[in-house]
Chain A
Amino acid sequence: MDLSELERDNTGRCRLNSPVPSVCCKEPCVLGVDEAGRGPVLGPMVYAICYCPLSRLADLEALKVADSKTLSESERDRLFAKMEEDGDFVGWALDVLSPNLISTSMLGRVKYNLNSLSHDTATGLVQYALDQGVKVAQVFVDTVGPPETYQERLQQRFPGVEVTVKAKADALYPVVSAASICAKVARDQAVKNWKFVEKLQDLDTDYGSGYPSDPKTKAWLREHVDPVFGFPQFVRFSWRTAQSILEKEAEDVTWEDSQTGDQEGLKRIKSYFSKGPRARLPHRYFQERGLESATIL
Chain B
Amino acid sequence: MAAGVDCGEGASARQHVFLVPDTACFYRLTDCGNSALEYLKEASKKMKSGLMFVKLVNPRSGEGVSYLFNMCLPQLFEIKVFKEKNHSWFINESVQSGGLLHFATPMDPLFLLLHYLIKADREGKFQPLDQVVMDDMFPNCILLLKLPELEKLLQHVTEEKEIDKKKYYKYSKEKTLKWLEKKVNQTMAALKTNNVNVGARVQSTAFFSGDPLSSDKEEDYIRYAHGLISEYIPKELSDDLSKYLKLPEPPASVPNPPSKKVKLSDEPVEAKEDYTKFNTKDLKTVKKNSKMTAAQKALAKVDKSGMKSIDSFFGAKHVKKNWKDLKL
Q: Which A residues are closer than 8 A to B by beta carbons?
A: 228, 254-256, 258, 273, 275, 280, 282-286, 289-297
Please pick, from B34, B37, B84, B231, the residue contacting A286 in the complex, using a CB distance under 8 A: B231
Closest to B60 in A: A280
Stretch at the interface among B20-28, B132-140, B222-230: B222-230
Contacts of A289 in B (CB 8 A): 82
* Complex Cα gap A75–B112 (Å): 84
Contacts of A291 in B (CB 8 A): 80-83, 103
A283-B231 in contact (CB<8A)? yes
B231-A295 in contact (CB<8A)? no
- Which of B37, B103, B231 lies at the interface centre, i.e. has the most chain A CB atoms within 10 A of its CB? B231
Known: A291-B82, A294-B80, A295-B63. A283 touches B314 (CB 8 A): no
Contacts of A282 in B (CB 8 A): 231
Contacts of B307 in A (CB 8 A): none
* Complex Cα gap A127–B231 (Å): 63
B58-A297 in contact (CB<8A)? no
Min CB gap A188→B, angstroms: 36
* Complex Cα gap A291–B101 (Å): 9
* Complex Cα gap A292–B78 (Å): 11
Known: A255-B86, A273-B314, A289-B82. A294 touches B228 (CB 8 A): no
Contact with A along B213-241 (1 / 0, CB 8 A): 00000000000100110110001000000
A295-B235 in contact (CB<8A)? no
* Complex Cα gap A116–B310 (Å): 49
A295-B65 in contact (CB<8A)? yes
Closest to A295 in B: B65
B37-A297 in contact (CB<8A)? yes
Q: Which B residues are closer than 8 A to A by beta carbons?
A: 16, 34, 36-37, 53, 58, 60-61, 63-66, 78-86, 95, 102-103, 196, 203, 224, 227-228, 230-231, 235, 309-311, 314
Please pick, from A286, A290, A293, A297, the residue contacting B53 in the complex, using a CB distance under 8 A: A297
A293-B65 in contact (CB<8A)? yes
Closest to B97 in A: A251
B231-A290 in contact (CB<8A)? no
Please pick, from B37, B227, B230, B310, the residue contacting A273 in the complex, using a CB distance under 8 A: B310
Contacts of B63 in A (CB 8 A): 295
* Complex Cα gap A259–B1 (Å): 38
Min CB gap B197→A, angstroms: 9
B66-A297 in contact (CB<8A)? yes
Closest to B94 in A: A228
25 contacts between A and B (CB under 8 A): A273-B314, A280-B61, A282-B231, A283-B230, A284-B203, A286-B80, A290-B83, A291-B80, A291-B81, A292-B81, A293-B58, A293-B78, A293-B79, A293-B81, A294-B65, A294-B66, A294-B79, A295-B64, A296-B36, A296-B66, A297-B34, A297-B37, A297-B53, A297-B66, A297-B102
A283-B86 in contact (CB<8A)? no
Contacts of A296 in B (CB 8 A): 36, 66
Contacts of B79 in A (CB 8 A): 293-294, 297
Closest to B99 in A: A290
* Complex Cα gap A11–B82 (Å): 34
Please pick, from B16, B80, B224, the residue contacting A293 in the complex, using a CB distance under 8 A: B80
Report, nearest first, the 10 A-B pairs whose CB atoms are least far apart: A297-B66, A294-B79, A294-B66, A293-B65, A290-B84, A283-B227, A291-B80, A294-B81, A283-B231, A295-B65
* Complex Cα gap A53–B36 (Å): 76
* Complex Cα gap A56–B160 (Å): 108
Contacts of B58 in A (CB 8 A): 293
* Complex Cα gap A294–B84 (Å): 14
* Complex Cα gap A135–B95 (Å): 56
Min CB gap A283→B, angstroms: 5
* Complex Cα gap A256–B235 (Å): 36
Closest to B14 in A: A296
Closest to A290 in B: B84
B36-A297 in contact (CB<8A)? yes
* Complex Cα gap A292–B80 (Å): 5
Min CB gap A199→B, angstroms: 12
Contacts of B311 in A (CB 8 A): 273
Contacts of B60 in A (CB 8 A): 280
* Complex Cα gap A286–B78 (Å): 14
Extra pairs beyond A290-B82, A293-B81 (13, CB < 8 Å): A275-B309, A283-B227, A285-B227, A285-B228, A286-B80, A291-B83, A293-B65, A293-B78, A293-B79, A294-B80, A295-B64, A297-B36, A297-B66
* Complex Cα gap A286–B64 (Å): 18
Closest to B11 in A: A228
Contacts of A256 in B (CB 8 A): 85-86
Closest to A258 in B: B86
B84-A285 in contact (CB<8A)? no
B66-A283 in contact (CB<8A)? no
Contacts of B95 in A (CB 8 A): 228
Contacts of A283 in B (CB 8 A): 227-228, 230-231
Contacts of A273 in B (CB 8 A): 310-311, 314
